[in-house]
């Protein structure tokens, strides 16, 4: 393998699962150099849309500074996290997970005084960004979004905050942008057409949020607010043509690189619409999961599509219970989670668990900070 032409070696490595690549770094120095090459990281992202891993974020309230990330290690009917965490996040009890982009997770400090931490959980590399310069009297309502600018080959993070908030009809928003690898934030004149909520989805060179239902008006053509990372402008992406429904019955999800909207307005089914043609803004109803409210639960409103799992399956959550849907067989089943975290069942103390569908990558935090 060491004697193969570099182009052939790159081609082979770019098609391997991320976990196999990380293990292969130890084989030889030439292999390590190829795997660490940023060109391979970029090529790998274009060829591995199916390479998703389930991550478990464990936030025990009875242990100070003990937040950790674990990999899912069990199979179809059960879900269990790895005994040893893949990352120890000593400071993240004070941070919240805001989203992900190209295998990078980003966490923002809960109060108005801190910055953002960017982490690649599989390579265990992390970096702290400079604190945002614009502060708000309502820090719990701030939003961050990380995206990749393909034109300049840089990562940018946008910070949306409230300058003023009198009531749900009288408010003023502000926006600043930070390019990773630089030392400062810069405020821009662009603001979103409506306040936003939830975690953003990065797809087709843009970040996408749902309009905050507290501020939504009857005109739902602006239900999805988008931010073009390259042009640094906001706009509206039309929602699927399913008539008038309230914003709080939807959420966005990244479904194998496509922007998808989850419709929870029915108690009989969950519909997942995928924006297949971004230029023409054409939505396709990709999945219709036939289900009554599960096992005596009052409704489907608390359901959330977590994202892709292995073998084309889709993972869903209902509070802290988990379900799986197989589109090939149209089967929907409950996943048992006995001791999801190894010592979870043995402690009476409360701990907060969050499960994410994560697309792994080789993107290096240290390299993107050295632009």
pLDDT, one tens digit per residue, over 343-362 is 554 444 556 678 888 888 88
Reply yes or no on whether the pLDDT at 317 is more than 80: yes
pLDDT for the residue 267: 79
Residue 138: alpha-carbon gap to chain centroid: 23
pTM reported for the whole predicted model: 0.87
DSSP output for 298-328: S-STTEEEEEE-GGG-EEEEETTEEEEEETT
78-82, 215-219, 317-321: which is most confident: 317-321
Upper half-sphere CA count for residue 253 (Cβ side, 13 Å): 24
Whether 183 shows a pLDDT value over 50: the answer reads yes
Quote the Cα angle for 364-16-145, to 5°: 40
Decide if pLDDT at 128 tops 60.
yes
Yes or no: domain 49-368 corresponds to CATH 1.20.810.10: no
So what's the pLDDT on residue 348? 45
Bridge partners of 290? 269
**Section 172-191 average pLDDT:** 93
State the span(s) of the chain assigned CATH 2.120.10.80: 49-368
pLDDT given for residue 41 in this prediction: 86
pLDDT for residue 307 is more than 50: yes
As a whole number, the mean pLDDT across the chain is 81
For tokens 């600043």, what's the residue?
A: 176
Helix (H) or strand (E) holding 34: helix 29-35
The pairs formed by 316-322 with CB atoms below 8 angstroms and a separation of 24 or more are 316/270, 316/289, 317/355, 318/294, 320/353, 321/294, 322/79, 322/355
More confident residue, 190 or 66: 190
Instruction: Give the pLDDT band (50/70/90) at residue 260.
Output: very high
Among 1-10, 23-32, 89-98, name the most confident range: 23-32
More confident residue, 338 or 102: 102
């Amino acid at each position: 393998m060491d004697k193969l032409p570099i182009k052939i070696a790159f081609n082979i490595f770019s098609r391997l699962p991320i976990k196999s690549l990380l293990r292969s770094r130890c084989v030889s120095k030439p292999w390590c150099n190829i795997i660490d090459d940023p060109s391979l990281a970029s090529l790998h992202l274009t060829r591995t849309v199916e390479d998703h891993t389930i991550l478990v974020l464990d936030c025990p309230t009875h242990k100070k500074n003990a937040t950790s990330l674990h990999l899912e290690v069990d199979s179809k009917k059960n879900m269990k996290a790895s005994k040893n965490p893949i990352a120890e996040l000593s400071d993240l009890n004070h941070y919240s997970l805001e989203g992900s982009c190209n295998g990078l997770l980003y966490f923002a400090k809960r109060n108005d005084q801190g910055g953002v931490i960017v982490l690649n959980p599989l390579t265990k590399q992390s970096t702290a960004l400079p604190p945002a310069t614009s502060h708000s009297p309502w820090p719990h309502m701030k939003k961050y979004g990380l995206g990749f600018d393909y034109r300049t080959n840089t990562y940018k993070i946008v910070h949306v905050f409230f300058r003023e908030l009198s009531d749900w009809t009288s408010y003023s928003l502000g926006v600043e942008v930070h390019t990773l690898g630089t030392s400062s934030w810069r405020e821009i004149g662009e603001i979103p057409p409506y306040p936003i909520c939830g975690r953003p989805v990065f797809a087709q060179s843009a970040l996408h949020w749902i309009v905050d239902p507290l501020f939504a008006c009857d005109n739902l053509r602006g239900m999805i607010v988008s931010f073009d990372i390259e042009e640094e402008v906001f706009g509206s992406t039309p929602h699927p043509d399913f008539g008038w429904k309230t914003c709080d019955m939807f959420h966005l999800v990244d479904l194998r690189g496509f922007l998808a909207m989850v419709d929870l307005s029915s108690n009989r089914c969950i519909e997942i619409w995928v924006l297949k043609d971004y230029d023409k803004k054409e939505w396709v109803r990709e999945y219709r999961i036939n289900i009554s409210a599960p096992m005596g639960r009052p409704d489907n409103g608390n359901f959330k599509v977590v994202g892709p799992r292995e073998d084309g399956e889709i993972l869903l959550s209902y509070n802290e219970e988990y379900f799986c849907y197989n589109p090939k067989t149209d089967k929907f089943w409950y996943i048992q989670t006995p001791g999801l975290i190894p010592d979870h069942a043995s402690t009476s103390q409360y701990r907060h668990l969050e499960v994410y569908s994560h697309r792994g990558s080789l993107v290096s935090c240290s390299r993107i900070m050295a632009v």
